[in-house]
């Protein structure tokens, strides 16, 4: 069984007014920003599909018969829920600087806030569930991001080039120890800077960035842009501690627990463990809890790894990550390839980015499901297998999301 999904578009302020609309074949520009297209069973905005003569949420369908929809192996590993969420993310403006906890940190933080009676929808809530939130972002367009702490020696070179006296006391711990411990101490000093000093320090650093024309010109250019969006926000300065990454279409980054990051701009396919746990560190008007953020951050320094898909066969390539909750791969085929058969080992969500393609469950007499560009489908574990066809000349592309159990 292969079933078309009806999905929610999340209208966050940083979203694009064109990207998701154009992908899904709707008029653009849209009246408001469209930031994320959600495909999955997350309780905040579960996808919907038609079973028989009624439309139901995927969350309800999974809850009613988890063995059929998820399979015994997935239930044993993750319980009676779809463990991943697939998205199209379209960032017209930068997202907040943020990090996610480990499973142990999430469970401890969630239990603590439950005991203290913090409402789960409270603006000051840090842990909305007891799960970690590893994620993978695969670029559909050129995509810019800040990811992880730059090599300490290079960060010192950047601040030496800016030559801003006002920032010196906050960077001093890094000069004393140009390693992860020094990075942690410098980051804490920046994040706990007295309110009376913050606006002046940020403005002087930005002014130096505006003049910089050396090796860090791209990093400084983003600092200037961030300051225009978030004037006086200390995140403008702490962003200068992070690696600036540009992804070409098809390239990806994996963000594990503790990785401080911010998506800056572009369109990509994102997959993550189904969790809402986000600890923010700036470039936002939302809650920032510095002590809790410091507990979860990984201050290891060095360049971020750019992932490229590893071929599995002539048609499918996979982005390898250590996350058990999800596995993202890309299927590419043309009308000359005939039928491409895939085996199902758990629940799947597939997204078509170049269509049309036709999906057909392997059960005898199963009807084909045509998918156009921007449309998606759910394939329950009980399906066993399915085929993909390209009905017209040209190349079709699918992103295939499932679990990463061996």
* pTM of the predicted model as reported, rounded to 2 decimal places: 0.94
Helix (H) or strand (E) holding 376: strand 376-379
Same fold for the domain at 3-146+247-296 and the one at 310-402? Answer: yes
Active site residue 4: no
What are the backbone angles phi and psi of residue 86, rounded to the nearest 5°? -100, 140
Q: Whose structure tokens read 């940083």?
A: 14
What are 167-209's pLDDT values in tens digits? 999 999 999 999 999 999 999 999 999 989 999 999 999 999 9
Task: For the chain, list residues with pLDDT below 70.
Answer: 363-366
- pLDDT score, position 345: 87
Domain boundaries, the chain: 3-146+247-296, 152-237, 310-402
* Distance of alpha carbon 292 from alpha carbon 33, whole angstroms: 31
Read out DSSP for 36-82?
Answer: EEEES--TTS--EEEETTEEEEHHHHHHH-HHHHH-HHHHHHH-SS-
**Residue 1 DSSP class:** -
For residue 385, the Cα-to-chain-centroid distance in whole angstroms is 28
What are the backbone angles phi and psi of residue 196, rounded to the nearest 5°? -65, -25
Of 128, 188, 280, 342, the active-site residue reads: 280
What are 47-75's pLDDT values in tens digits? 999 887 789 999 999 999 999 999 999 99
CATH of domain 310-402: 2.60.120.10
Q: Are 161 and 213 in contact (CB under 8 A)?
A: no
What are the backbone angles phi and psi of residue 133, rounded to the nearest 5°? -140, 60
| Fold exhibited by the domain 3-146+247-296 | Jelly Rolls (2.60.120)
Residue whose C-alpha is closest to residue 321's, from 257, 261, 275: 257
- pLDDT score, position 392: 86
* Distance of alpha carbon 97 from alpha carbon 239, whole angstroms: 8
The residues near 279 (Cβ < 8 Å, ≥ 6 apart) are: 98, 99, 100, 101, 126, 289, 292, 293, 296
């Amino acid at each position: 069984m292969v079933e078309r999904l009806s999905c929610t578009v999340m209208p966050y302020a940083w979203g694009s007014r064109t990207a998701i609309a154009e992908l899904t074949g709707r008029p653009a520009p849209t009246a408001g920003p469209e930031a994320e297209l959600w495909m999955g069973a997350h309780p905040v905005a579960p996808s919907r599909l038609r079973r028989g003569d009624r439309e139901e949420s995927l969350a309800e369908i999974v809850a009613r018969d988890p063995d059929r929809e998820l399979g015994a192996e997935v239930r044993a590993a993750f319980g009676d829920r779809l463990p991943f969420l697939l998205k199209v993310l379209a960032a017209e403006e930068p997202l907040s600087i943020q990090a996610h906890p480990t499973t142990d940190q999430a469970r401890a933080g969630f239990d603590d806030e439950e005991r203290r009676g913090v409402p789960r929808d409270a603006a000051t809530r840090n842990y909305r569930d007891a799960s970690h939130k590893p994620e993978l972002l695969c670029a559909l367009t050129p995509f810019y991001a800040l990811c992880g702490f730059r090599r300490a020696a290079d960060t010192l070179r950047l601040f030496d080039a800016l030559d801003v006296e006002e920032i010196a006391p906050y960077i001093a711990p890094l000069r004393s120890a140009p390693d992860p411990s020094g990075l942690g101490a410098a980051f804490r000093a920046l994040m706990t800077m007295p309110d009376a000093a913050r606006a002046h320090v940020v403005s002087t650093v930005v002014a130096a960035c505006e003049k910089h024309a050396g090796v860090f010109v791209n990093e400084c250019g983003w600092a200037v842009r961030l300051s225009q969006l978030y004037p006086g926000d200390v995140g403008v300065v702490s962003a200068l501690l992070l690696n600036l990454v540009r992804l070409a279409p098809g390239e990806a980054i994996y963000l594990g627990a503790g990785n401080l990051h911010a998506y800056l701009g572009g369109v990509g396919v994102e997959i993550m463990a189904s969790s809402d746990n986000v600890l923010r560190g700036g470039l936002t008007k939302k809650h920032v809890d510095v002590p809790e953020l410091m507990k979860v951050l990984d201050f290891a320094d060095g360049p971020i790894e750019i992932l490229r898909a590893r071929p599995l066969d002539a048609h499918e390539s996979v982005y390898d990550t250590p996350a058990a909750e999800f596995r993202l791969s890309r299927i590419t085929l043309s009308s000359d390839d005939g039928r491409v058969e895939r085996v199902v080992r758990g629940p799947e969500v597939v997204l078509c980015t170049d269509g049309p393609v036709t999906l057909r469950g392997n059960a005898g007499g199963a009807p084909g499901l045509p998918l156009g560009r921007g449309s998606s489908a759910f394939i329950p574990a009980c399906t066993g297998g399915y085929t993909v066809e390209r009905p017209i000349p040209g190349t079709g592309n699918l992103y295939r999301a499932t679990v990463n159990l061996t």
